[in-house]
Amino acid sequence: MDNVKKAFLAIVLLGLAVRLHDIDSKSAWFDEVFVVNHLKESLHDIAMGVGEEGHPPFYYLLAYFTGADTLLKLRFFSLFFGSLSIMLMYLTARELFGRAEGILSALMLALSYISVQNSQTARMYALAGFMLLATFYFLVKSLKTGSGKDWILFTLSLALMLYTHYFGLFLYAGLALFFLVRAWRNWKVNRAFGACLLVVLLVFSLHVSDLRLKVLLSTRQEKENFMLIVKQDPWTLQPDTGIYYILSGFSGTKYVMPLFVLLILYGLLRRYRSEKGNFEMLMLPLLTSFAGILLASSIMRVSIRHISYFIPLYLALAAAGLASIRDRRVYIAVLIVIVAASALKLDAYYKSSGPDWKSAVGFLNENTAKEDYILVEPADEKTTIRYYYTGPAVIEGITEFDNKPTKTLRFLEGHKDGRIFAVYATDVILRDGYGEINRTFQTLCRHEQRYEDIDIYLCNP
């Protein structure tokens, strides 16, 4: 076994270890509970995308048929695809640039806290990242060999990418731009590429037709709930949708973000002329993903995690720049900085467990009665409360009454019979501008308990 293979094996094992670490320690959150609940629905509803989740069906069908129907199983499901992505990252970057770039890309992905987070979360992002890498791997091989088998696998991977997450359309748009650039230079040798893109578009249009039918057949309440999501102001609720925050997240931290950007620019400067096609293949989808999420954030509430599976493209470009550094001392110094920053970010990720809904609900299970009310903020987390809660009290979301304290006050005044437990994630309350609600409960209610990032107030004791 040569040194490259040894390094590759070590990186895969390292990536698996950091993804396994504390995988079951964090409390569930509402997006994960939505997935668990969605998988309890009928196979027809899962395939049609009907129910609480509004995403394409491939992730849910795959989880359904592999028996991943509990929170822990779903997290290991993500772990599986997150770990496989490290291997595919190496193969893809090696096909694009070379073995050194493959090793560097795999190492960066193995230590990327976003990739680790996706691999420990019961959501579709780890699978989406794997399908993205499969798409690029087979596209590179297809363009090199012209093999019909590779073109079929490319078409299948891209179609499944779109059937995993709707923002995969940003990838499709970037690849369509890449095709147009290549076709402008030489149409004849790119006909197979164009045909594959057309097939994927036709296949995905079948799902879009089903989606339009679903919207037409949805209830009035479902349509109103959708409009509530669309009408939210993302710039105040989700500050991590700007380019600065995206680049910081993709780099791991804002402190090394300039280094990653410089590496990408350096790689473009040194190698673009000789490897134009490879850089365009990565850059165009990456740019369309950035533009896409900025556009999406102007009409609905989104965040960086919705395009987090595009991070392999960013890391491959950075690895190409790092491998282009000729001075060995500078090369090693830059690599040490990247690894050290990634390790520090991972350590911070492990220590920040997030809101401890499980412990908070344990308190509620022991202290609530049938006549009591539980008010939750964020309102979506009432789903998480219900996931853990076994008591008889009624559960409602605070902002289902109003973002302002007036209706909340009336609710408190109008329910004198039972006690009211106000449960909310403190950091979310302060970040999302619900300070008035926070002050209302501090003034009228008694602070009862505190867990990690969660406060519980008791009203009408």
Q: Are 328 and 365 in the same domain?
A: no
Q: Where are the alpha helices (DSSP H) in 21-119?
A: 30-38, 43-48, 58-65, 71-96, 99-111, 113-119
How confident is the prediction along the chain (461 residues), in pLDDT tens digits per residue?
688 889 999 999 999 999 999 898 888 888 898 888 888 888 877 877 655 556 888 999 999 998 888 899 999 999 999 999 999 999 999 999 999 999 999 999 999 999 999 999 999 999 999 999 999 999 999 999 888 999 999 999 999 999 999 899 999 999 999 999 988 888 877 899 999 999 999 999 887 765 554 544 444 444 444 444 444 433 333 444 567 778 888 888 888 999 999 999 999 998 888 888 889 899 999 999 888 888 877 666 677 788 889 999 999 999 999 999 999 999 999 999 999 999 999 999 998 877 888 888 999 999 888 888 888 877 778 888 989 999 888 888 776 555 555 556 666 666 666 788 888 776 655 444 455 666 666 677 788 888 888 888 887 65
Q: Are 258 and 389 in the same domain?
A: no
Q: Are 128 and 148 in the same domain?
A: yes
Q: Are 205 and 213 in contact (CB under 8 A)?
A: no
Secondary structure class of 300 (helix, strand, coil): coil
The tokens for 231 are 């009408």
Q: Are 259 and 408 in the same domain?
A: no
State the residue range of the domain holding 444. Answer: 357-459
Q: Are 69 and 9 in the same domain?
A: yes
Q: Which residue has the tokens 């291997």?
A: 87
Q: Are 54 and 161 in the same domain?
A: yes
Q: Are 293 and 428 in the same domain?
A: no
Secondary structure class of 421 (helix, strand, coil): strand
Number of domains in the chain: 2
Q: Are 347 and 407 in the same domain?
A: no
Which residues are registered as beta bridge partners of 425?
454
Q: What share of the chain is helix, strand, coil (3-state, %, to 5)?
A: 70, 5, 25
Pairing of strands 373-377, 420-425: parallel
Query: Quick count: other Cβ atoms within 10 Å of Cβ 2?
Result: 8
Which residues are registered as beta bridge partners of 397?
376
Question: What is the rounded (10 degree) CA torsion for 11, 134, 105, 262?
Answer: -160
Q: Are 372 and 316 in the same domain?
A: no
For the whole model, what pTM was predicted?
0.88
Q: Are 299 and 364 in the same domain?
A: no
Whole-angstrom distance, CA of residue 123 vs CA of residue 55:
11
